[in-house]
Structure 1
Amino acid sequence: MKPASGASRRHLPTSPFKPPPPAPPVEQFSVNDQVTHDRYGLGVVLAVEDGVGVIVDFGSQQERITTPYKKLHKL
């Protein structure tokens, strides 16, 4: 038996099962937004790299957070 691949399967219109929900939109950040991160805490966005990531100043350190921003939330 083959292992499951990471690619998503397409939904057939005749299938009795519901199609998978669409992916939620990626949250957009701009410079000087106040954010919180599950690991690093409170911070301020210093730079935005379109579609790639953001650089955030958390006070004691600066971190580059890449998309998708699962643990980063705008305040």
Structure 2
Amino acid sequence: MEEIVAVDRDHSGNIISFKTNTGRIISYRKAIQEIEQGKISGVMLKEQTFSDLPIVQNISTDDTYFENFPPIY
């Protein structure tokens, strides 16, 4: 099972894509799909009331911003 190891952010600091331990770079929406399908471990989805997209949250640290993860590029 894959895990998230790095993140890519836009100019505002929002996460736009993730890198997995297999080297794949996937969009935020694709990550949500794969978390729902059980293909990515170590994270969970947390619903938001003000957005149609759930928040991806690191299970081990409850970190929704992945602050300790390195950038992809």
Structure number with greater CO (CA < 8 Å, separation at least 6) is 2
TM-score by length of 2: 0.30
Structure ID, larger Rg: 1
Answer 1 or 2: which has greater helix percent: 2
